Every structure is written in structure tokens, then in C-alpha cells.
């Protein structure tokens, strides 16, 4: 039986990449996907000021948070770490969005720097780990 996330052509589907926390995600795929997600968040934040953001934000921000959690969890899986660490990273990101504003933001910035190195610089575990086979891309 074939995996619905990977059709017969072997390519990952959009839903598997952005809406599922199962499996692993290589460094290159994570960086591209995270940049796309960040660009969507920045554009939405810039375009939907005031009332529009208040009305649509109840749907858009939770959706962006879910997609971010899925990407982070899959990349953490590739590093051999528990996907629930994504909650700490997302909490730090929310705390300093759109920019750090005071000394009390320092611990959150430290978490984000750690996450950037852990997920964006270091390679995934070689071979199969408890979350599945590697996906390639670092």
C-alpha cells in the first residue's frame, strides 16, 4: 500500500509538507518552507492592518501557527528531537513578534537563536531514526 503523502511519483504533497507533523523534514526543505511561511506572515501583517486583521486574524494566525508547528516538529524529528519542542520555539517567536522590545525578551531571543542553529545549520540524523527515514536535503 502506498503512502498518501507521497504519491507514485515520490514527491511530497502540499498537505504532507505543511499540515502534518509526522515524519522528518530535511534542512533545505525546512528552510525554504519556513521562509515561505515567514513571508506569508509578514505580508499578511503588513496588508491587513486594523479592522481587517481583527476580523481575519482569528483564522489566519492560528493557521500560520499550525503550519509553523508542523514544519518545526518535522525538522526537530529529523534532528532526532521531540516535536513538542516546537511549542517552546513558537512561544518564543510569538513573544518577540514583530521585534524584541525590551530586556525581558532576552530569553526568548536566546531560544530563537538556538532554534536557528539547531534547525537551520545542523544536519539531520543520518539513517533511519525513531521518526522515520531521512528525506534528504541536509
**48-96 per-position pLDDT tens digit:** 877 888 888 899 999 999 999 999 999 999 999 999 999 999 999 989 9
- 55 preceded by cis ω (within 30°)? no
What band does 137 get if pLDDT is binned at 50, 70 and 90? low
The C-alpha atoms of residue 43 and residue 87 are separated, in whole angstroms, by: 23
The domain spans of the chain are 14-120
pTM, 2 dp: 0.86
**Residue-level pLDDT at 3:** 46
Mean of the per-residue pLDDT values of the chain? 88
For the chain, the 3-state helix, strand and coil shares in percent, each to the nearest 5, are 60, 0, 35
How many CB atoms within 10 Å of residue 9? 5
For the stretch 107-130, what's the b/e string if a residue is b when 16 or more beta carbons lie within 10 angstroms of its beta carbon?
Answer: ebeebbeebeeebeeeebbeeebe
Cα–Cα distance for residue pair 92/97, rounded to 1 Å: 9
The dihedral formed by the CA atoms of 6, 8, 10 and 15, expressed in degrees to the nearest 10: -30
Name the H helices within 48-84: 51-78
Amino acid at each position: 500500500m502506498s503512502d498518501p503523502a507521497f504519491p507514485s511519483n515520490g514527491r511530497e504533497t502540499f498537505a504532507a509538507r505543511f499540515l502534518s507533523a509526522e515524519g522528518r523534514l530535511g534542512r533545505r526543505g525546512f528552510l525554504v518552507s519556513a521562509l515561505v511561511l515567514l513571508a506569508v506572515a509578514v505580508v499578511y501583517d503588513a496588508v491587513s492592518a486594523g479592522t481587517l486583521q481583527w476580523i481575519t486574524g482569528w483564522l489566519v494566525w492560528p493557521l500560520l501557527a499550525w503550519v509553523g508547528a508542523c514544519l518545526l516538529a518535522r525538522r526537530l524529528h529529523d534532528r532526532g528531537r521531540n516535536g513538542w519542542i516546537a511549542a517552546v520555539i513558537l512561544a518564543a517567536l510569538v513573544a518577540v513578534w514583530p521585534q524584541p522590545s525590551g530586556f525581558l525578551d532576552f530569553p526568548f531571543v536566546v531560544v530563537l537563536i538556538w532554534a536557528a542553529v539547531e534547525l537551520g545549520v545542523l544536519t539531520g540524523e543520518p539513517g533511519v531514526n525513531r521518526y522515520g527515514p531521512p528525506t534528504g536535503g541536509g
